[in-house]
């Protein structure tokens, strides 16, 4: 039986700081619906730039569009269903919610540790609101500007190919301190994952022995891959049952299971919504478990987030999300090395320094590392990690000649499985760059990341922001009569994802600073504040 306990204390920042009272700008914001909705007005301004390929002259045409945004100020009671609930990330995620909800402190050799959500941007970071009368910056908690769901209120369930209860899964992961594990035992052992799906071709064969809790597993232990439509119907029923049994308003499904190999995009198989559905019914070999979970979630009108690097969102799935108007986001959690790489590369390029090579080496000893020791699964990870510098490199034609396909950064990625280091992933990077007049610069970084303790706060942020963005609608002033939901691909979540999914025709933004700025400014406009800038005229002008 799957436990679906709600976790709640109702306080922002785990009760450690009171919520500031942010007054809305009455000129740009109005409350409606018995003060349950906030409507804001915003003039979006940007510029269209056309470059003459012969003269290199730039023609710049500013444009603007007036919008209204409406946000429901009451967070929903939300259920979380993780694919891979019993893995390192899933067990650590659940442990963090229960420790914070129940205010469980624990002892380490360095002393007593109080529960917190460090590493979560929504729970433990601030943003600048403005300045005080003396010109000093004023900051407020990120989650205090507008109501966001408290992760302590999440109702949690999910699937896993292994049947261990979550206390046993937490012990197996070897992520958390022994004293904390002991104190969490009464809470964690009541959670048991639902049966998942295992198609042996998609994850490494070294995962075979773990797979004892699968919908498609026969009595003799063999796996049936010839009834994929039935697998999908069972996942849909799990979602329906979870929602009804817990009286939930919303559900979000998130994949944090093993990395799959990438599927091939094949015309007539997964290139359209109709072809995808037909291929599931025909048990096509290029239909992966993550395709099944994503399709089931979208059919149930449930947002789906892909936290692993495989290409779950084939064209047919994106069309299905568009057709059902369901929010999706992916791919691959952006935790340690890759997040730092997006910052470091941006620093070098913005400084006019040309990174000619980036060599990245990783070794880790958790089950994710074991799965990635298989080449097909490593290739999925290599693709998601390598793309993180692309938009930064493409932003500077002085350093990189777009007409010369060889003029690009040589980017090499290596991942090795080393059981002894466990969940402490070791990342070593060397940035080799050109300076003026033949000079060179070499920056070497040695980064030890506790993998699941970086990933779990990111899972929290993705879920909190998905719920938040699901309560927002918009309309173009003078054009639309009705408010609309966001386009299904939630590119606002790119801050937390290595290879962010984008709308067709648009290129992803990987620069961490630009991603964060977009989130901050969107929160500001919703309460009638202008975009943030650092002109600081109070200081610089007479």
Instruction: Give me the active site residues, please.
Output: 332, 381, 425, 498
Helix residue ranges, H only, 327-424: 337-350, 367-372, 375-386, 390-394
C-alpha 218: how far from chain center: 34
What whole-number distance in Å separates Cα of residue 536 and Cα of residue 506?
33
Identify whether 514 is preceded by a cis peptide bond (ω within 30 of 0).
no
What whole-number distance in Å separates Cα of residue 523 and Cα of residue 502?
21
3-state helix, strand, coil in the chain (%, to 5): 35, 25, 40
DSSP state of 113: E
C-alpha 230: how far from chain center: 29
Who contacts 4 (Cβ-Cβ below 8 Å, separation ≥6)? 79, 155, 156, 157, 242, 245, 246
Q: Phi then psi for 63, rounded to 5 degrees?
A: -145, 160
Query: What single string gives the DSSP state of each residue in 176-236?
Result: S-HHHHHHHHHHHTT--PEEB---TTTS-GGGGGG--SBTTB-TTS-B--S-HHHHHHHHH
Token pair for residue 141?
A: 């908690």
What whole-number distance in Å separates Cα of residue 369 and Cα of residue 355?
28
Partners of 107 in the beta sheet? Answer: 112
Q: Hunting for tokens 């989130």 — which residue is that? A: 519
What whole-number distance in Å separates Cα of residue 540 and Cα of residue 542?
7
Who contacts 161 (Cβ-Cβ below 8 Å, separation ≥6)? 196, 197, 198, 207, 210, 211, 212, 213, 214, 257
What whole-number distance in Å separates Cα of residue 324 and Cα of residue 321?
5
What whole-number distance in Å separates Cα of residue 310 and Cα of residue 263?
8
Distances (CA, A) of 367 to 45, 374, 438, 499: 47, 12, 45, 22
What whole-number distance in Å separates Cα of residue 392 and Cα of residue 350?
9
C-alpha 202: how far from chain center: 22
Residue 534: is it exposed, middle or buried by C-beta count within 10 angstroms (0-12/13-18/19+)? Answer: exposed
Q: Is 28 helix (H, G, I), strand (E, B) or coil?
A: coil
Report whether 271 contacts 295 (CB < 8 A): no
Token pair for residue 326?
A: 């369901």
Q: Phi then psi for 442, rounded to 5 degrees?
A: -125, 125
């Amino acid at each position: 039986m799957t436990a679906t306990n709600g976790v709640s204390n109702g306080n922002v920042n785990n009760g450690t700081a009171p919520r500031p009272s942010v007054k809305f700008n009455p000129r740009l914001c109005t409350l409606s619906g018995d003060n349950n909705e906030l409507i804001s007005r915003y003039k979006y301004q940007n510029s269209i730039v056309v470059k003459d390929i012969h003269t290199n002259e730039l023609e710049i045409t500013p444009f603007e569009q007036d919008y209204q945004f409406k946000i429901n100020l009451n967070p929903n009671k939300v259920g979380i269903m993780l694919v891979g609930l019993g893995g390192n990330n899933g067990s650590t995620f659940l442990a963090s919610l229960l420790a914070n909800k129940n205010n469980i402190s624990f002892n380490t050799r360095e002393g007593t540790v109080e529960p917190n959500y460090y590493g979560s941007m929504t729970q433990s970071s601030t943003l600048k609101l403005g300045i005080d009368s003396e010109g000093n910056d004023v900051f407020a908690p990120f989650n205090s500007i507008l109501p966001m769901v408290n992760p302590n209120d999440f109702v949690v369930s999910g699937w896993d190919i292994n049947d261990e209860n979550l206390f046993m899964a937490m012990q197996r992961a070897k992520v958390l301190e022994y004293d904390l594990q002991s104190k969490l035992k009464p809470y964690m052992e009541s959670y048991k994952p639902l049966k998942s799906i295992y198609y042996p071709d998609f994850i490494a064969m070294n995962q075979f022995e773990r797979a004892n809790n699968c919908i498609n597993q026969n009595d003799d232990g063999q796996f049936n891959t010839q009834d994929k439509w039935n697998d999908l119907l069972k996942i849909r029923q799990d979602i329906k049952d979870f929602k009804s049994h817990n009286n939930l308003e919303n559900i979000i499904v998130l994949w944090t299971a093993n990395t799959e190999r990438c599927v091939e995009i094949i015309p007539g198989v997964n290139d359209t919504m109709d072809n995808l559905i037909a291929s599931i019914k025909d048990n096509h070999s290029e239909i992966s478990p993550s395709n099944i979970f994503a399709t089931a979630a979208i059919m149930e009108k449930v947002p789906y987030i892909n936290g692993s690097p495989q290409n779950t969102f084939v064209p047919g799935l994106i069309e299905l999300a568009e057709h059902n108007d369901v929010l999706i986001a992916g791919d691959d959690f952006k935790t340690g090395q890759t997040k730092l790489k997006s910052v470091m590369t941006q620093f070098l390029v913005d400084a006019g320094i040309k990174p000619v090579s980036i060599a990245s080496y990783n070794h880790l000893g958790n089950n994710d590392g074991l799965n990635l020791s298989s080449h097909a699964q490593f290739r999925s990870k290599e693709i998601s990690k390598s793309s993180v510098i692309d938009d930064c490199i493409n932003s500077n034609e002085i350093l990189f000649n777009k007409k010369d396909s060889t003029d690009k950064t040589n980017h090499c990625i290596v991942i090795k499985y080393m059981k002894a280091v466990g969940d402490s992933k070791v990342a070593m990077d060397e940035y080799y760059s050109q300076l003026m007049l033949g000079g060179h610069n070499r920056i070497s970084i040695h980064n030890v990341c506790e993998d699941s303790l970086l990933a779990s706060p990111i899972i929290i942020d993705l879920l909190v922001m998905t719920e938040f963005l699901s309560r927002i609608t918009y309309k173009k002033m003078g054009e639309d009569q009705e408010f609309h939901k966001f386009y299904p691909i939630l590119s606002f979540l790119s801050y937390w994802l290595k290879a962010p999914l984008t709308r067709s025709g648009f290129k992803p933004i990987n620069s961490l600073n630009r991603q964060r700025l977009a989130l901050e400014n969107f929160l500001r406009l919703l309460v009638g504040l202008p975009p943030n800038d650092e002109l600081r005229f109070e200081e610089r002008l007479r």
